[in-house]
Chains A and B, each alone.
Chain A
Amino acid sequence: MRIFDPHIHMTSRTTDDYQAMYDAGVRALVEPSFWLGQPRTSPASFFDYFDALLGWEPFRAAQYGIAHHCTLALNPKEANDPRCTPVLDALPRYLVKDSVVAVGEIGYDSMTPAEDTALAAQLQLAADHGLPALVHTPHRDKLAGLHRTIDVIRESHLPPERVLLDHLNETTVKDARDSGCWAGFSIYPDTKMDEDRMIAVLKTHGTEKVLVNSAADWGRSDPLKTRKVGDAMLAAGFSEDDVDRVLWRNPVAFYGQSGRLQLDIAAPEPLHEGNSILRGGE
C-alpha cells in the first residue's frame, strides 16, 4: 500500500514516527505550516519555521525514504495578531520555493474580520503563484464556517478545483463536495473523524476528490491513521484500486496542480552510525 499523507505536522514528530510511517507505506507527505501551540510574537519567528519546513524537515524525511513538501501561509489563529500579520507581505518570496505545493493552512478559526482579510489575501496569493490552497474548516461553528469559507472562495480568483477543504465531517461533507472543491478528512484518535466513520462517508460519497490525512501534530494524534483507513477500506470491501486512489492518486492529483511535486525519492540508505540525525550529529 503506497500512502501520501496530505496533511501532517512532522516538525512535532520523532524519527520513530518517520520509521513507522515508512514501514506502514508512507512515501510522501505534505506538511502545512500552522500554529505551534505557543503563540508567535513576530514575523521572524514565522520565517525560521518556514525555513525549517524548506530545509531541515525535508532532510529528515528523506533519510527515511519519504518525500517532504510543504504549504506555507499565515494561519487563521495568528491572522488575528497584528504582530504577526506582516508575514503576509513576506509570503511572496517563500511561495516561489521548489517544495511549496500550496498556500495553507488558511481559513477560519473564529470568523473575525482579520481572518476574512487574511483568507482573501492568501487565496489571491495562491492564484498569483499558480498554487492550489489548503483551506482548513473551523473546529467551532463548523457548518456556518464552511459556508462562509465557500463564499470567500467563490469571490476569489482561485477556481474550486484548486482548493482542498480540510477537517470535514458528516455535517459538512455534502456542501463541501457540492462546491467543487476537494474534500479532506483528518482522522484523529478521539476527535474529528475516526476510521469507521470515514468508511461510512466513503460508502455514501465515493472516492472521487476525497483525501484522508492524519493531521498528526503536537496534540494527541496518530501518524499511522492513513494506513488504518486503508486497512479499514479493504476490510469493508473497497478494492486495492479504491485505496490507492484515496491514499495516493488523489493527493498527487491535487498537489500536482502546483507542478512542483517531486516523488522520485531515493530508497533509504541503511542508517549508519554516522547518520547526522541519529543523535543530532552528536
Chain B
Amino acid sequence: MPMTPTTSPLLTREELDAQLGGAARAWLDEALAEAEHAASHEPCEQPGGPYAVPSWELRYAAAGRYCGLEHADSVRALLLVEAHAALPALTRLYEQGTAAERRAVLLALHRLDLGPTALPLVEDALRTNDTRLVAAAVGPYAAAHLEAHNWRHAILKCLFTGVPVAAVDQLALRSRGDAELARMLGDFAAERIAAGRSVPADLTRVLDLTVPGPAAPTEES
C-alpha cells in the first residue's frame, strides 16, 4: 500500500477502455449498466431487509479486483457518476466503505450535482488521521464548498499529518490575503521553533501564498 498520499488523476471511460483487458472491460460495461439502471429506477423501498445491498454497490467494492487496484479509484468514480449517486447512496458507500472506497467517494464529489450537501463526508475525512483520506478530502469539492474556518484547519491538518499541500485544490486562490490563515501558520511555526523543532517547508510555502496580491485572472474577470 503506497503511503505517499498522492492522488493520481482519474481516468475517463475511454482511457480505461484503452487500458483494460477484455474481461475487465466486459465487467466494467456490466457494472456501468447496473449503475445506470439504478439511477433511472429510484428505489421506493429497499427490498431484502436493512442490510441488503444494490448490486452496483457490490461492484463498487470489488472494482479493484476486476479492473486492477491501480484503476480502482477511476472505476469507482465512474460508477458514482453513471449512477448519478445521490447523497444517501454516497453516504452509505462512504460510511460502509474501506479507506480506499471512502477515498473514491471523496474524489468524485465535485463531479456530482450535490451543492454543499456532501460536506459532512469531507468533514468526517478531515477528522481522521488517515493521510489517504485527508489528501482526498482537500480536492476540488472542498475548494468549492468548505467554509473558511474548516478550510484553514484542513490546511493545518495537512501540515500536521504530512500530507503534501500540493494535494490541496485551489491552494493559492483560497490562501491569498487570508490574514487568519497567516496568523494560524505563524503561531504554528512559533510553537515548532519554541520546541526546538524544524518548521515544515510546506508551512512556509502556504504562508507565502497568504500575502495579499492581485487576484489571479479568472473566467469572470
List A residues at the B interface (Cβ < 8 Å): 47, 51, 54-56, 58-59, 62-63, 67, 86, 89-90, 92-93, 96-99, 259-260, 262, 265-266, 268-269, 272-277, 280-282
User: In the bound complex, do residue B160 and residue A96 qualify as a contact, i.e. CB atoms below 8 Å apart?
Assistant: no
Q: Which 4 A-B pairs have the closest CB atoms?
A: A274-B162, A276-B161, A281-B129, A90-B51
List B residues at the A interface (Cβ < 8 Å): 1-4, 49-51, 53, 57-58, 61-62, 64-65, 69, 72, 96-102, 128-132, 134, 157, 159-162, 197-198, 200
Q: Which of A59, A262, A274 contacts B160 (CB 8 A)?
A: A274
User: In the bound complex, do residue A96 and residue B61 qualify as a contact, i.e. CB atoms below 8 Å apart?
Assistant: yes
- In whole angstroms, what is the CA distance A79 to B132 when docked? 34
User: In the bound complex, do residue B51 and residue A272 qualify as a contact, i.e. CB atoms below 8 Å apart?
Assistant: no
User: In the bound complex, do residue A266 and residue B1 qualify as a contact, i.e. CB atoms below 8 Å apart?
Assistant: yes
- In whole angstroms, what is the CA distance A96 to B96 when docked? 12
User: In the bound complex, do residue A55 and residue B98 qualify as a contact, i.e. CB atoms below 8 Å apart?
Assistant: yes
User: In the bound complex, do residue A89 and residue B51 qualify as a contact, i.e. CB atoms below 8 Å apart?
Assistant: yes
User: In the bound complex, do residue A92 and residue B65 qualify as a contact, i.e. CB atoms below 8 Å apart?
Assistant: no
CB-based nearest B residue for A265: B1
User: In the bound complex, do residue A266 and residue B2 qualify as a contact, i.e. CB atoms below 8 Å apart?
Assistant: yes
- In whole angstroms, what is the CA distance A260 to B102 when docked? 19
User: In the bound complex, do residue A276 and residue B162 qualify as a contact, i.e. CB atoms below 8 Å apart?
Assistant: yes
B74 to chain A, nearest CB (A): 15
User: In the bound complex, do residue A54 and residue B69 qualify as a contact, i.e. CB atoms below 8 Å apart?
Assistant: no
User: In the bound complex, do residue B98 and residue A93 qualify as a contact, i.e. CB atoms below 8 Å apart?
Assistant: no
Q: Which of A55, A63, A92 contacts B102 (CB 8 A)?
A: A55
CB-based nearest A residue for B98: A54
B156 to chain A, nearest CB (A): 10
